[in-house]
A = this chain, B = another copy of it.
Amino acid sequence: MDHACLSKGLARFLAEGINLGTTYLLDPEESHHLKNVLRLKEGEKIILLDLAGKEYLGKIVKLDKKGVLVKAQRLLRQEKPLKPELIFLLPLLKKDWLAFLVEKAVELGVSQVIPVITERTVVKPGANFTAKLEKRARQSLKQCRRLWPLKIQKPFSLSQAAKNIVADLKIFAYENEKERTLVDVLDVNSKVEKVVFTSGPEGGFSPKEAKILKECGFESIGLGSFILRAETAALYLMSVAHFTFFASKILKKRSY
């Protein structure tokens, strides 16, 4: 029986740091999902992710009030972290758009998201801001079958984040950039290890912010002839980055 068959239809649970052959106590969120939402029973087979590139076939050892004990029985799949590392400085956005972008960042192979507060950012980080984004990222990870988690930082000011970040290539979408596009700055063949992207909030980056970004080594690019909404711009950058850096490389590594 191949791995696809073994894992087909089985529910997936996060078990950070789990090792083959050992028992492991699921965290309260995962335990709740297993016991109360999916109502699985002792002895049933499940999939366990160690959040460090490994996916195991496992089983439920014990269900009790303390939580759910599971065991990893067989390695199903192993992945290296995606290269290059894609980092997105994402502006806080109205409605639930930042959480939506975090979900998409997981699906599209982004390594790290740094929420940024810009001059024209209207919304403020609410209670449990980072925890909520992390929850959305975990759900997305299980759904899309990614094995390495998206790192989510605490919110920074844009200028602070821009000054601190170290990368081989830094790109920002700017509506006043009329000459260069992504085509001019992305090169699939260049040996970059880390690429940073950012795009503005509703209303875009201010001229002062564009100046700071340029001083920090970010290259400005335009996104075409139409005005993209803030969430569209970020999604567009993620999609094109995925296409440029991953589409030709990683397809054949998918094991099911």
Residues of A within 8 A of B (CB): 79, 103-104, 106-109, 143-146, 178-179, 181-184, 222-229, 232, 235-236, 239-240, 242-243, 246-248, 250-254
Complex Cα distance A107/B236, Å? 11
Complex Cα distance A251/B242, Å? 22
- A226-B146, A227-B145, A235-B235 known; A243+B107 contact, CB < 8 A: no
A109 partner, pick from B104, B224, B227, beta carbons under 8 A = B224
Q: A108-B224, A225-B254 are in contact. List 11 more A-B contacts (CB 8 A).
A: A103-B229, A104-B232, A107-B226, A107-B228, A108-B226, A108-B232, A145-B227, A146-B225, A235-B235, A236-B239, A236-B243
Contact B226 A109 (CB under 8 A): yes
CB-CB nearest 3 A-B residue pairs: A239-B239, A144-B226, A183-B248
Contact A144 B240 (CB under 8 A): no
Contact A228 B178 (CB under 8 A): no
- A225-B253, A225-B254, A236-B242 known; A247+B181 contact, CB < 8 A: yes
Complex Cα distance A232/B109, Å? 12
**Closest residue to A188 on the B side, CB-wise?**
B183
Closest CB in chain B relative to A76 CB, distance in Å: 14
Contact B145 A226 (CB under 8 A): yes
Complex Cα distance A228/B252, Å? 16
Contact B182 A247 (CB under 8 A): yes
Contact A224 B240 (CB under 8 A): no
Residues of chain B within 8 A (CB-CB) of A146 are: 225-226
Interface hub of A236, A246, A254 (most chain B Cβ within 10 A): A236
Complex Cα distance A179/B33, Å? 35
Residues of chain B within 8 A (CB-CB) of A223 are: 247
Complex Cα distance A178/B33, Å? 32
